[in-house]
C-alpha cells in the first residue's frame, strides 16, 4: 500500500532532495552526467549514482569479464529490477535499525580483510580495483555494512522462525527419487570447446559462451549452439557422474558448486570445459541426504516467508518511483 505525505510537503521534500543531488557532475570524454532522483523511500531519496554503485557492488562477479559497453547494457536491461532491490534494501535497513540490529566498524574491517586475502590483494590494489568499478573505499564499506546488517535482520526476523519436521523431510525424499542413489554423484551439463592451434579462436568461443550466459541465456541453449561434442545434442546434459568414477580434481570442482551454479572455464589438453551442476545424488537413507533435503525445504520456506516480510515492509512504507 502506498502511503503519502501531504502533497505540498512531499513536493518540497523532493525539490530540496533534487537540489542536493543535481549538482553532482562528472566529466568523461567530453561528456557530462547530472545525477537525478529515481525514487523516494519514506524520507530518503534514491539517486541514479547510488543505484549505479549498488549495481556495481551486487553484480561484481557477473560483470567482471564484460567490456564497459557490455556492462552498461547489462545494467540498463536490469535497471528497474535493481531499483526495486535497492528500495527493499533501504526498507530492510530501517527495520533492522528499529530492532537495534547493527554491525561494528571492526567487523566491517575484518570482512574486507577476508576479501583481500581471498583475492590476494594489498590495500592499494584493493582500492584500485574499487576505483575501476567507480567506487570509493567509503562506498564499499557502506554497502558491505548494509549487507551484513540485512543478513542479521533476515536471520533474526525471518529465518529463525522456520521449523522443519521429520515428516516433511521423509515426504520430500519419497517425492524426489532422483536424490537417492547407490553411490553419491553429480548431475552435470557441460559446454566443451576443442583445443586448437590458434588459441585466440578458443578464447573467443569461451568468451562468447560466458557473455551469453551472463546475459541470461539458458545453459542448454548456449551448449546446444556452441558445444563441440556429442552433449550439444542434449543441451549439454551428460547425466549422472558417480563420484567414484571421476577424477578427484573434477569431484573437487563439483563439491564447491551450488546446484544451478556454473563453473569457471576448466582447461585440459583436449579442450576447455564449462560445467553446470544440475543436481546431486546421495546414498540412500544417509544422514547427508536428509540434511540436504532439510536445507532445500528450509530454503523454500524461507523464500516464501521473506517475500511476505518484504511485502509487509512495503505496505508500511511511503514509496514514490519517479518517471
Using one digit for the tens of pLDDT, what is the confidence trace for 227-247? 999 999 999 999 999 999 999
Tell me the average pLDDT of the chain. 88
Q: Tell me which of 26-30, 184-188, 192-196, 213-217 is least confident.
A: 26-30
Domains, in order of start, for the chain: 7-159 (1.10.4030.10), 183-283 (3.10.50.40)
Residue 69 neighbours by CB under 8 Å, 6+ apart: none
In the predicted structure, residue 173 carries a pLDDT above the cut 80 = yes
In the predicted structure, residue 52 carries a pLDDT above the cut 50 = yes
User: Residue 93 is placed in which grid cell?
Assistant: 535497513
How far is Cα 264 from Cα 253, in angstroms, rounded to an integer?
Answer: 9
Using one digit for the tens of pLDDT, what is the confidence trace for 268-294? 999 999 999 999 999 999 999 999 999
**Helix/strand number for the chain, H first, E second:** 13, 10
Can you give the pLDDT at residue 8?
40
pLDDT band at 34 (very low <50, low <70, confident <90, very high): low
Say if strands 180-181 and 271-283 run parallel, antiparallel, or are unpaired.
Answer: parallel
What's the CA dihedral at 293, 214, 60, 237 to 10 degrees?
30
pLDDT band at 86 (very low <50, low <70, confident <90, very high): very high
User: Residue 316 is placed in which grid cell?
Assistant: 508500511
How far is Cα 302 from Cα 219, in angstroms, rounded to an integer?
Answer: 26
Using one digit for the tens of pLDDT, what is the confidence trace for 133-164? 778 899 899 989 999 999 999 999 999 999 99
How far is Cα 184 from Cα 98, in angstroms, rounded to an integer?
Answer: 46
User: Residue 216 is placed in which grid cell?
Assistant: 541470461
In the predicted structure, residue 69 carries a pLDDT above the cut 60 = yes
High-pLDDT (> 90) share of the chain, %: 72
Handedness of CA 229, 234, 236, 239 (dihedral sign): negative
How far is Cα 181 from Cα 198, in angstroms, rounded to an integer?
Answer: 43
Using one digit for the tens of pLDDT, what is the confidence trace for 2-24? 444 444 444 444 444 444 444 34
Can you give the pLDDT at residue 70?
85
Under DSSP, is residue 192 helix (H, G, I), strand (E, B) or coil?
strand
Average pLDDT over residues 38-48: 93
Helix (H) or strand (E) holding 13: helix 7-21
27 bridge partner residues: 32
How far is Cα 35 from Cα 182, in angstroms, rounded to an integer?
Answer: 60
CB atoms under 10 Å from CB of 67, counted, come to 10
Amino acid at each position: 500500500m502506498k502511503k503519502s505525505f501531504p502533497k505540498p510537503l512531499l513536493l518540497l521534500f523532493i525539490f530540496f532532495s533534487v537540489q542536493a543531488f543535481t549538482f553532482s557532475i562528472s566529466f568523461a570524454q567530453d561528456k557530462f552526467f547530472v545525477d537525478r532522483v529515481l525514487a523516494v523511500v519514506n524520507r530518503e531519496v534514491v539517486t541514479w549514482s547510488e543505484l549505479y554503485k549498488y549495481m556495481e557492488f551486487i553484480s561484481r562477479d557477473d560483470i567482471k569479464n564484460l567490456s564497459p559497453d557490455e556492462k552498461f547494457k547489462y545494467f540498463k536491461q536490469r535497471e528497474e529490477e535493481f531499483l526495486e532491490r535497492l528500495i527493499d534494501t533501504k526498507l530492510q535497513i530501517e527495520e533492522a535499525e528499529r530492532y537495534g540490529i547493527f554491525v561494528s566498524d571492526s567487523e566491517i574491517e575484518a570482512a574486507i580483510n577476508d576479501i583481500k586475502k581471498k583475492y590476494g590483494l594489498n590495500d592499494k590494489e584493493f582500492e584500485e580495483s574499487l576505483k575501476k568499478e567507480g567506487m570509493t573505499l567509503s562506498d564499499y564499506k557502506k554497502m558491505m555494512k548494509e549487507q551484513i546488517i540485512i543478513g542479521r535482520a533476515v536471520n533474526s526476523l525471518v529465518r529463525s522462525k522456520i521449523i522443519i519436521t521429520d515428516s516433511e523431510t521423509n515426504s520430500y525424499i519419497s517425492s524426489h527419487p532422483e536424490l537417492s542413489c547407490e553411490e553419491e554423484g553429480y548431475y552435470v551439463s557441460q559446454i566443451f570447446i576443442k583445443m586448437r592451434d590458434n588459441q585466440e579462436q578458443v578464447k573467443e568461443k569461451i568468451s562468447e559462451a560466458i557473455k551469453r550466459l551472463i546475459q541470461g541465456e539458458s545453459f542448454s541453449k548456449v551448449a546446444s549452439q556452441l558445444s563441440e561434442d556429442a552433449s550439444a545434442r542434449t543441451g549439454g546434459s551428460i547425466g549422472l557422474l558417480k563420484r567414484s568414477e571421476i577424477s578427484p580434481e573434477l569431484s573437487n570442482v563439483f563439491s564447491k558448486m551450488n546446484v544451478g551454479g556454473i563453473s569457471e572455464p576448466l582447461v585440459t589438453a583436449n579442450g576447455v570445459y564449462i560445467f553446470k551442476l544440475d543436481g546431486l545424488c546421495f546414498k540412500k537413507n544417509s544422514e547427508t541426504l536428509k540434511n540436504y533435503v532439510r536445507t532445500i525445504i528450509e530454503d523454500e520456506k524461507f523464500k516464501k516467508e521473506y517475500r511476505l516480510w518484504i511485502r509487509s515492509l512495503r505496505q508500511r512504507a511511503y514509496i514514490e518511483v519517479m518517471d
